[in-house]
Amino acid sequence: MSNFEDDFNEDDYDQPASETNPVRARMKQLEKEAKELRKQVAEFAVTQRELAFAKAGIDPASPQAKYFVKGYDGDLTPEAIRAAAEEAQLITPQPVQVDPDKAAWQQSNRIAAGAETASEGPSWIKRIRDASSAEEVSEIFAEAQAQGVDLG
């Protein structure tokens, strides 16, 4: 069954300018703009969906993934798509990648923590007391200065 408004288009008939209704003309213009905007929104939704699958590492055009892409109705984040694709055995699980900067910071923190727990080395005072000669005391002072320790 056809709709009268779809079949009948006022633009197809020439009417004198004095007989045209400006309100109806504006409504037709707004209806045309709304139809175009709905079309653009639908195209955007399709493009956004394809981009989400591409970010997840799934080619929406591949024959294996077509049914998965068409039937997927979950969250459109790359992580959720990837998890669902792994569950469906469409893709293999990716190994967890460690951020190199984060790994470097963790290593430096472990080194710093190890430095705090390390022994302080020999007691300078004890070594000076146990020294048997003035030359040995001078050597201990030189060693302490080389390590940045001020015994003076």
Q: Between 25 and 65, name the one with better pLDDT.
A: 25
Cα distances from 60 to residues 6, 22, 67, in angstroms, run: 36, 47, 9
**What is the domain partition of the chain in residue ranges?**
4-87, 100-146
Would you say residue 116 has pLDDT above 60?
no
Q: Mean pLDDT throughout 53-75?
A: 83
User: Residue 116 is encoded by which pair of tokens?
Assistant: 């705090």
Question: Of the given ranges (1-15, 29-43, 70-84, 129-143), which has the lowest mean pLDDT?
Answer: 1-15
Q: Mean pLDDT throughout 22-38?
A: 95
Best CA proximity match to 81, nearest among 61, 96, 63, 59: 59
Would you say residue 35 has pLDDT above 80?
yes
- pLDDT band with cut points at 50, 70 and 90 for residue 146: confident
Say how far apart CA 57 and CA 86 lie, in whole Å: 11
Amino acid at 27: M
How large a percentage of the chain has pLDDT more than 90?
15
Q: Between 16 and 71, name the one with better pLDDT.
A: 71
Residue 64: per-residue pLDDT: 81
Say how far apart CA 46 and CA 61 lie, in whole Å: 13
